[in-house]
Structure 1
Amino acid sequence: MNEIIVDSSLNQTRVALMEDRELVEIYVEREDNKRTVGNIYKGRVTNVLPGMQAAFVDIGLEKNAFLYVKDAIPAHMLEDSDVSSKDISIRDVVKNGQEIIVQVMKEPIGTKGARVTTHLTLPGRYLVLMPYVDYIGVSRRIGAEKERERLRGVVEEIKPKNIGVIARTAAEGKEKKELKEDLKFLLKLWQKIDKERHLGFAPRIVYRDLDLLQRTVRDMFTNDIDRFLINDKEKYKYIVDFVDLLSPHLKSRVEYFQSDVDIFDYFQIESMIKNALSRKVWLRSGGYIVIDQTEALTAIDVNTGKYVGSTDLEDTVLKTNIEAAKEIAKQLRLRDIGGIIIVDFIDMGNKEAEKEVLNILEKAIAKDRTKTNILGITQLGLLEMTRKKVRQRIDSILQKKCSNCNGTGKVLSEYTVIHHIEKEVRKIVHHTNAEAVLFEVNPAVVSTLKEENNHFISELEKETNLKIFIKGSELVHNDAIHIRSVGKLDKVQGLLPI
């Protein structure tokens, strides 16, 4: 059973896609992280970089957007010509100060600004409109050649000249009338955008894509979804009207969740989200995978863990890798991991077993709506794959870097902190005439000092002729040192607990 569960609250909307009561995709939209992909802007070129074959464009966001030459070349420059994008310089396409219309194709991620293109696309329910090219396409997910040819023929009949149209996966099995209505809506939308782009000065937004709820109905609520639940009465009514407009036959599947129980708690989604943020993911057999994410790539390690098998080592390894392959495909969708992905499966030493695991991984990944390529196994026995990076990973939306460890996941050991205390003591002795000092540290540091029977402090006092007091506090981070007082002995002692 496939379900879409929506949790609508005052400051955010969360959408969960469930397959057989398992969370496979989660989307979060807040006021501070509203999606920009699909938005169309009137921007101004601020810097042309021939060495990178790209340009920076001010579109009004915090960071300037990045425009590659292949995303900037107008279609007419390549028509009836053997010239490729590699033969054209970015300086021949855009100039500093030039106003251009661009569409965001990749969200700003980390320190990078949004990636934009001048090749605009407008997605509808069944079709995608491309106003600047004359082209007909059919989604690769539609496998039946007969259906592909039928859709190509229908699109050719209904589309205007010099306009590109792609039939989306949802177009499969749809009649000409439904496709024509969708195209009519997209053409009206383009007329409005075309008029708007000539108005006002850059940078400004020309068209804002649908919000999360609307995109969910448009892109995810298909015949494969058995139920659509939402916990907000007003938004429920709006969704029913929106579905009635796009897919009337699905209207009966939309339900209002009326309960005092939190909708995500009721379906145990909160605990699933918590697991999606964990570094280690346990498999049902007792094995586990470890997911380490960096800015450049994601590394996934497969381990047998508690699973010891029942036949032989080869069988144990194969079963663990098969289970891990299915889980990895699920985790890529759930965490929305993009970019380069390296998987270290347990060494199988058997080409047939390797092929079986890869086939299972490919089959599991087929459910993913984001483009993913499995490149094969390297000489080191590592699986290479890539997944299109479009938006921020779910962990970067729900979490932030620890202010103490700065995102490393590690803090200084107690012995390192004790060494820092010694350095601070020597600085105080060198630069002041103080008689005593009071340090406030984490209780773990105090425990370590006590294990040393306070020899360290007594020896340091004897060497520096400075009275040293150490006070433990849960409010002090593990690797921090707070100097509470430095000066006369009686003054420092007055701050100690009685």
Structure 2
Amino acid sequence: MSDEILVNATPMETRVAIVENGMLQEVFIERTQRRGIVGNIYRGKVVRVLPGMQAAFVDIGLERASFIHANDFVRSNGAGGEEKDIRERVREGQMVTVQITKDPIGNKGARVTASLSVSSRYLVYMPDLANSGVSQRIDDDGERNRLKEIVAAVTSEHFPDLKGDFIVRTAAEGVGETEIHQDMAFLHRLWLSITNKQTSKKPERLYEDLPISLRVLRDLVRPQVEKIRVDSRETIGKMQEFCHSFCPEAAPLLEWYPGERPIFELYSIEDEVKKALSRKVDLKSGGYLVFDQTEAMTTIDVNTGAFVGHRNLEETLFKTNLEAANALARQLRVRNLGGIIIVDFIDMQDPEHKRQVHRTLERVLNKDHTRTSISGVTELGLVQVVRKRTRESLEHMLCEVCETCDGRGTIKSAETVCYEIFRAILREARAYDHDSYLVLASQSVIDRLLDEESSNVADLEDFIGKSIQFQLESVYTQEQFDVILL
């Protein structure tokens, strides 16, 4: 298995694509005027405490106040212990230091925590952590113990008075004491600079996380990554400088792409992004998936479509569900869907088939860098997946609600609008005495009124004893119309 990372950088935005065996797996987009703020640390002022919700709103200088729950204070006073009432944590007007854990999404402000952390290539420093830890993705017990011993030895020798402790990241697997010491020294200096700013009496940003082009080097470079192709000479220069200071092992992977053809088109990334914005995803077998994203959850419906199988119905359903499990796991990453996700697999009778589909979904979701959990298959073939949501989905980032349908996904038919017009004319005829009526409507509605509904229009004119005229309004959507009294 080989991965490539593609970086498409322009003055307006930077896009990063993770490609695994030639297939897009994840895409990150950061626009210059609207950068993500997850990981940023702010000094903020508590503007409202909500005891009923056990939460508070904190003004950190953004458009909307951020939201913090009482649970987000628990670790800040040490591990374990009973949860305290939010009123024992903060009061209105109090200045607090918080870190963004979830970008503002829709009309909701950012989610923040008082349990702070800063990251480097190999470590995460948490000033409120009681004991050091190692990433769960490092599963070799000997390596885990070796890394914990290095952290403990370097801490006691060079940072004996350091508050808190470190989490060893997956990228640290196999590295030596020198690299760990360098990262600890960097994080120590960084934390001191943040601490010195915490005397501020007004909302302000204390620390800003790295831009996406540099976070790629810090967070996404793994042993499977064979190449990092960058199409901007300026951006690759900054990445090379970052590698020189913090992750020299990633420097040989960097490659400048000078081609005339856009790098995202070369790898068909643009087509994959376009597909990821579609409601329907076709499977190779002829089946398909249907994605419906709402504010509360996302539902994924699995359908056999044109796939009829070769032996029997049960085999057809099983093979479609297996293919769907692999496809939807990739779509969750590409679309960056988070929160509660309900997958409606096609109902299978064989318990072993259900187990295999469930195991397949678990296996492919294990590749996801975002934390996920999965329930068993219910009798109705439903599976619940919970995926941590830290930033907006691809659809919310690239799209906006349709002004015509207002997000419904459908609009009223021309026939329905015609009958609404008839009812509106009847209401006006009962309320006012006018010689005639002028209907302003869209092309499709006018065409239907003059064609399929012409006999109904004539009957209505006879019933009210008035003439009805029609006028096209090209700027009207199919649902819009006006009835004017003449």
State the shift of 1:53 in Å: 1.5
State the shift of 1:31 in Å: 3.4
Query: Is 1:31 aligned with 2:27?
Result: no
Name the residue aligned to 1:247. 247
> Counterparts of 1:323 and 1:381 in 2: how far apart (Å)?
15
Letter in 1 for 2:132: I
Name the residue aligned to 1:321. 321
State the shift of 1:456 in Å: 1.7
Moved over 4 A (4+): 430-434
**Cα pair 2:347 2:380 within 8 Å, conserved:** no
> Counterparts of 1:268 and 1:469 in 2: how far apart (Å)?
52
The more displaced of 237-246 and 340-349 is: 237-246
State the shift of 1:120 in Å: 0.4
State the shift of 1:437 in Å: 3.5
> Counterparts of 1:334 and 1:280 in 2: how far apart (Å)?
14
Q: Quick one: which of 113, 116, 136 aligns to 2:132?
A: 136
TM-score, length of structure 2 as denominator length: 0.94
Query: Is 1:149 aligned with 2:109?
Result: no
What are the residue-to-residue correspondences of 1:176-191 with 2, within 5 Å? 176-191=177-192
Name the residue aligned to 2:299. 299
Name the residue aligned to 1:357. 357
State the shift of 1:173 in Å: 1.0
State the shift of 1:133 in Å: 2.7
Name the residue aligned to 1:168. 169
> Counterparts of 1:394 and 1:59 in 2: how far apart (Å)?
26
State the shift of 1:9 in Å: 2.2
TM-score, length of structure 1 as denominator length: 0.92
Query: Is 1:444 aligned with 2:440?
Result: no
**Cα pair 1:42 1:99 within 8 Å, conserved:** yes
Name the residue aligned to 1:391. 391
State the shift of 1:62 in Å: 1.6
> Counterparts of 1:427 and 1:106 in 2: how far apart (Å)?
50
State the shift of 1:448 in Å: 2.7
State the shift of 1:473 in Å: 5.2
Name the residue aligned to 2:94. 98
**Cα pair 1:45 1:95 within 8 Å, conserved:** yes
Query: Kindly tell me: are residues 222 and 244 of structure 1, through their superposed partners in 2, closer, same or farther at Cα, counting changes over 3 Å?
Result: farther
Q: Quick one: which of 119, 122, 133 aligns to 1:123?
A: 119
**Cα pair 1:309 1:315 within 8 Å, conserved:** yes
What are the residue-to-residue correspondences of 1:415-494 with 2, within 5 Å? 415-430=415-430, 434-452=434-452, 454-472=454-472, 474-482=474-482, 486-487=485-486
State the shift of 1:261 in Å: 2.0
**Cα pair 1:122 1:129 within 8 Å, conserved:** yes
State the shift of 1:433 in Å: 5.2
State the shift of 1:139 in Å: 0.5
> Does the residue aligned with 1:377 lie in a helix, a strand or coil?
coil
State the shift of 1:446 in Å: 3.0
> Counterparts of 1:412 and 1:250 in 2: how far apart (Å)?
55
Letter in 1 for 2:345: F
Letter in 2 for 1:142: I
What are the residue-to-residue correspondences of 1:224-303 with 2, within 5 Å? 224-303=224-303
Query: Kindly tell me: are residues 74 and 377 of structure 1, through their superposed partners in 2, closer, same or farther at Cα, counting changes over 3 Å?
Result: closer
> Counterparts of 2:88 and 2:311 in 1: how far apart (Å)?
66
State the shift of 1:49 in Å: 1.6
Q: Which runs of 5+ in 2 are unaligned?
A: none
> Counterparts of 1:443 and 1:358 in 2: how far apart (Å)?
50
**Cα pair 2:194 2:206 within 8 Å, conserved:** yes
State the shift of 1:405 in Å: 1.0
Name the residue aligned to 1:338. 338
Name the residue aligned to 2:82. 84
> Does the residue aligned with 2:309 lie in a helix, a strand or coil?
coil
Name the residue aligned to 1:19. 20
Letter in 2 for 1:286: G
**Cα pair 2:371 2:387 within 8 Å, conserved:** yes
> Counterparts of 2:391 and 2:452 in 1: how far apart (Å)?
51
What are the residue-to-residue correspondences of 1:214-225 with 2, within 5 Å? 214-225=214-225
**Cα pair 1:223 1:250 within 8 Å, conserved:** no
State the shift of 1:74 in Å: 5.8
Query: Kindly tell me: are residues 311 and 194 of structure 1, through their superposed partners in 2, closer, same or farther at Cα, counting changes over 3 Å?
Result: same
